[in-house]
Amino acid sequence: MKPRSPHNPRGTKCLAVGLALAWTALSVPAPAGARDPEPLVVATYAYPQRDRAAAIRPLADYLGRQLKRPVEVRVLASPTALIAGMASGEVDIAVPNLHGYLQALRLPAGSVATLPVPAVPLAQAQRYRAVIVSRRPLSGATLASDAAGLRLVLVGPDSASGGFVPRGHLAELGIETPETAFARVDYAGSHAASLAWLQEGRADVAALAADVYDAASHADTHELWRSPVIPPGPLLCRPAAHLDCAGVGAELLAAEGHDPAVMAGLRAGWPEFGDATRLEPADEAALAKLAERID
């Protein structure tokens, strides 16, 4: 009997069929409409001397891991631009300030959903207030009567403690439109700069965050008014078919246990968050009452 050849035609045929099937499987086009998920856009607004992109990167990375989505971080020019980005569909998750959050409440119903807010320790939360200070002693009455001869500096039109909160107090004094009541109104761009304008004589009255004022020298300045506590603005989500905002909120409430870097980043970007280590549900009803006070 002749010895069996080492060549096995049957085995070779099976191998060839197997390779052909494998190649076919690799070559089959994806089902119509299938595609990689779009990046989840996590965005905030710029602020002088704060690296806001670095501040929200841990948040974006955490949500990307938990939701199994690619992420993209963006920093827009202002809180107003940030909310406009949500309204246009360019931003999915936003870290606004209070002014931006209240602007978002004015969008059509269902446009945005409120997410949790940093749980600022009570003692630190008490320090987040606005002050109005001047170069010479003034009362509320004299501030209103002398406004035409005074120069006012604010932090910015989108600022809470250096913008709409002190403007609200001015309105209570009868100064509804500071731009026409004062000799001049300027925006310094930051709380420290607003105080510097006052101390350098470029303004007669300044509005800024109380903690910045308290930490600085008070030489040649006089405190006219100090606001009640200002709550921080909650994060925001844009509801969409590809994004479950309730699910995002649940992931944020659990972030402390999964990734402490999330709040560490936010603390670095927003001093008003103090030593917060977690996020908590926002008091939406209380925040909504403030919406009437913004311009």
Q: How far apart are the first and last CA of the chain?
A: 102
Q: φ and ψ at 118, to 5 degrees?
A: -55, 135
Summarize pLDDT for 99-123 with one digit per residue, the tens. Answer: 999 999 999 999 999 999 999 999 9
Res 26: pLDDT: 35
Domain boundaries, the chain: 40-121+232-293, 129-226
pLDDT digits (tens, 9 = 90+) for 3-33: 444 444 444 444 343 433 333 333 334 344 5
Beta-carbon neighbour count of residue 268 at 10 Å? Answer: 15
Contact 168, 223 (CB under 8 A): no
**What mean pLDDT comes out for the span 237-251?**
96
Q: Which amino acid is at 282?
A: A
Average pLDDT over residues 269-275: 95
CATH architecture under which domain 129-226 falls: 3-Layer(aba) Sandwich (3.40)
- Distance, CA of 41 to CA of 287 (rounded, Å): 25
pLDDT tens readout for residues 56-66? 999 999 999 99
What whole-number distance in Å separates Cα of residue 144 and Cα of residue 138?
10
What's the CA gap between 56 and 265, in Å, rounded? 6
Q: Which residues pair with 237 in a beta bridge?
A: 93, 113
Would you identify the CATH topology of the domain 40-121+232-293? D-Maltodextrin-Binding Protein; domain 2 (3.40.190)
Tokens at residue 188, please?
């310094």
Q: What is the pLDDT of residue 35?
A: 61
How confident is the model at residue 28, as a pLDDT?
37
Residue type, 279: L
69 in Cβ contact with 47 (< 8 Å): no
Q: Look over the chain and give the mean of its residue pLDDT values, rounded to a whole number.
A: 89
129-226 and 40-121+232-293 share a CATH fold: yes
For residues 191-201, give the mean pLDDT: 97
